[in-house]
């Protein structure tokens, strides 16, 4: 990527602009209201910083490998990964690490720190370690959800409709903490499509509002979706018709 510097720095600029737009949107909303549910301005800053932190980790290490899985399946290029030594999913996942998203990661850390300062929180080393661990865990959950949608391509001609739905849900996740949902929406975004868990749980932990039940639920959901994602992937591989068949 550094050989083609425009790609590297261009991606960084796009990410920074996207990050700035989120901040502007947040500022406009809180220019008219004092809080959204139990989330005041400082807590929402922590939430936005957390979801951006997870997003940046996802974009740096995972996204640009997994996103091309449907193309690899349809074109038959997956044959090249299956025939090489090692796990094909591992190779697909980490073959396109993108350092261009590092600036967004740093800005996200700064945003979380700003929210913590406004909230007047005292962050101990143990709390910081627990928060960091949950951020990594929620990045894994995001990976699971993303992988499940792309694995459907093994069984269909296209999963573009589901990918579009996924994009809409993720866009909503960037704006609304999961605790805002009630009734059927809470069941949908905490169980069926648990995007509401992603940034909500780490942010609640940081502001010391996360219950043991909420923590165990987040851990359980991540384990269940991780197991299902890898099972679904392996099932897709068994169903795969290679380009040479």
pLDDT tens for residues 230-241? 999 999 998 887
Q: Is the pLDDT of residue 243 over 80?
A: no
Structure tokens at 63: 């996204």
Q: How many CA atoms lie within 13 A of 162 on its CB side?
A: 15
Q: Which residue pairs from 180-185 have beta carbons closer than 8 angstroms and sit at least 24 positions apart in sequence?
A: 180/36, 180/37, 180/39
Structure tokens at 136: 């990594």
Q: What is the pLDDT of residue 195?
A: 93
Q: What is the pLDDT of residues 152-187, one digit of tens each?
A: 999 887 777 788 888 888 888 878 889 999 999 999
Q: What is the pLDDT of residues 184-211, one digit of tens each?
A: 999 999 999 999 999 999 999 999 999 9
Contact (CB, 8 A) for 70 and 77: no
Of 184, 151, 141, 149, whose CA–CA distance to 168 is shortest? 149
The share of the chain scoring above pLDDT 70, in percent, equals: 91
Confidence of residue 11 (pLDDT cuts 50, 70, 90): low
Average model confidence (pLDDT) across the chain: 87
Of 243, 198, 245, 232, whose CA–CA distance to 89 is shortest? 232
Q: What is the pLDDT of residue 189?
A: 92
Q: What is the pLDDT of residues 130-150, one digit of tens each?
A: 999 999 999 999 999 999 999
Confidence of residue 102 (pLDDT cuts 50, 70, 90): confident
Q: Which range among 14-28, 87-101, 127-141 shows the weakest confidence by mean pLDDT?
A: 14-28
Q: What is the pLDDT of residue 150?
A: 92
Place of tokens 């380009």: 243
Q: Which range among 33-37, 54-58, 85-89, 112-116 shows the weakest confidence by mean pLDDT?
A: 33-37
Q: Which residues contact 134 (CB under 8 A, 6 or more apart)?
A: 201, 202, 205, 218
Residue 192, number of CB atoms within 10 A of its CB: 9
Q: Is the pLDDT of residue 3 over 70?
A: no
Question: How far apart are alpha carbons 93 and 126 in whole angstroms?
Answer: 30
Residue 41, number of CB atoms within 10 A of its CB: 17
Q: Which residues contact 54 (CB under 8 A, 6 or more apart)?
A: 135, 138, 139, 142, 198, 199, 202
Judge if pTM exceeds 0.95.
no
């Amino acid at each position: 990527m550094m050989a083609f510097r425009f790609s590297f720095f261009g991606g960084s600029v796009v990410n920074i602009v996207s990050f700035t737009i989120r901040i502007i949107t947040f500022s406009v909303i809180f220019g008219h209201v004092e809080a959204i549910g139990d989330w005041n301005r400082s807590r929402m800053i922590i939430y936005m910083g957390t979801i951006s932190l997870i997003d940046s980790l996802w974009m740096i290490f995972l996204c640009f490998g997994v996103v091309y899985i449907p193309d690899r399946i349809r074109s038959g290029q997956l044959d090249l990964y299956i025939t090489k030594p090692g796990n094909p999913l591992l190779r697909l996942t980490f073959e396109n690490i993108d350092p261009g998203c590092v600036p967004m990661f740093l800005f996200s850390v700064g945003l979380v720190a700003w929210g913590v300062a406004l909230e007047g929180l005292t962050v101990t080393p143990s709390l910081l370690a627990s928060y960091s661990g949950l951020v990594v865990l929620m990045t894994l959950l995001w990976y699971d959800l993303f992988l499940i949608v792309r694995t459907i391509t093994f069984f269909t001609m296209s999963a573009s409709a589901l990918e579009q739905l996924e994009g809409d849900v993720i866009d909503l996740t960037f704006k609304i903490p999961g605790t805002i949902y009630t009734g059927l929406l809470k069941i949908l975004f905490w169980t069926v499509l648990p995007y509401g868990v992603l940034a909500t749980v780490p942010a609640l932990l940081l502001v010391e509002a996360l219950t043991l039940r909420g923590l165990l639920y987040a851990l359980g959901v991540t384990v269940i979706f991780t197991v299902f994602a890898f099972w679904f992937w392996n099932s897709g591989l068994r169903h795969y018709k290679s380009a040479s068949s």
